[in-house]
Chain A
Amino acid sequence: MTDTTETAAGIRIRPLDELDISDIVAIDEAISGRYRPEVWERRISYYLRRAPESSVVAEVDGKVAGFMLGEVRSGEFGLEEPTGWIEVLGVDPRQQGKALGRRMAEAILEYFREQGAHSVRTLVDEQREDLRSFFESLGFEPSGLRPFAKRL
């Protein structure tokens, strides 16, 4: 009983809910090889608390096959204007090639626009060429905001 978008035969994009935890844990495990239910219980609680519609899952034939978590925030890193952030995404390796990532991104970007965001940002590991090309295909460009890090 949620607002869903049927984007192609058998594929639905809908807002995240608390019953997606198990499926997201399984997708993460399939990608990373690590079983981390506690991490996702906490993380999904966070996104549901903040803005449940700003995170989505993709269903293929009624089973969750991908997820994209994000939200609109203001005031981060000196960015005063409302900015959409895509923070985590994952697609079941067995379901890749169905443009699930693109379909989820389109839904989430539409929601960010509705929330008044004029830009959307994310951080991508330079080693992850697949992620970089994915975001470039969506129109993302390198930003003037550069990440800095220091090991402690």
Chain B
Amino acid sequence: MKNFTHLLVKEIKELLNKQLIISLAFILIIFNFIGNVTKSEMKKAMAKQKVAVLDLDRSPVSRNLIGALNAANFIIEEKSGDKNKVVDEIRHSSLDLLVVIPEGFGEKATKFQPVEVETYSFLRGVSLAGRSKSEVVRMLLNSTNEYLSNEFLKAKIPEVDPKLLKAPIKNREYVIIKDKQAEGSSALVIGAMTAQNFILPVILMMIIMYSAQMVITAIAMEKQNKTLETLLTVPISRTSIVMAKMLAAALVGLISAAIYILGFRKAFSFSEGDIGQALSGVAPLLKQLGLTINTQGYVLFGISLFLTILCALALATILGVLAEDYRTAQSLSFPLIFLVMVPYFISLFADINSMSLPAKLLVLAIPFSHPFFAMTNIMFGHLNMVYLGIVYNFLFVAVLLYWTTKIFSTDRVLTMKLKWGKKKVVL
């Protein structure tokens, strides 16, 4: 145990070196910078925006429309005169949106004839603020349309509610999950769950990728620096060597992943508060449908994740033995990254349960897949899938760990090489 701890400390120190600390600090600074820029752009987009309006109609309806724009988040700068001259004037100013209300707008509107306004966007870049400005104007016009149509209907058929006329069928939506039913929108439920689980696949991917890369690099560096042979002859069991390398890689991988996630959240403003705020309205619906996770669920997820990390580490250790130096170690980590990316993208954009059986089996054969789908399976009560995943990963880990220790206990740790030319492993 003394020698194991001694080796573990050395492994952690080797992995958590100056270069890694600097690159992690750099990542934090970069993400923080991106976050600040994004936030400032968002702030600009949310702030009161200046919009130029040229009212060529000057009717009560057009004045109402300008009033509505004013009441919204806009500072109206009214222009007058020839349209082309106004467009030219704005082209050379800091304003970037012009709404032109044409002559006859009010008259046509009151006669129920089609009317139109013209919106000129002056693009000076592709910033978020610029994009949101035209989007808000579009929404505002929609609301004005709604307002005007309601007013017209009220004038024509005063005894009927205009809303009833425009939408005579009202949809009462219900969502059913297994034996539970609740009134609400399925889109809302899916949206809420997606928002809640958005960060999870990213975390999983980071942890698996980082831990695996760390252990491959650690073993490859021992080979490159010609220190492995000496290490294998010191009085410490081969199992301890394997375990110390795997544990150190897992710890440093976790630290690196945590820093990436922290930076990621800073850059994209994901916080518990943001997600909580987004979910607060849907929470009772999710609770009614049983889409919440209890302690048992978290324990199951934890076991699934732990076994997956062990799988990645054991697989990476074997790949590390095949690597002869740092460069080949980097190439050998690509298959692992690919295997992690498959469940990552499927969990983001598809539903594993609606895939064809062969495709589903193929995805689930990847040991890293299981924790990606475990959370959703736990929520939807597909516990058998979770248990099967845990058993599968347990067997996978047992075989891999046995094989890894076996490799380290025999000549293979020194003689196993990947022959690129012949595309086969020589044992």
A binds B: no
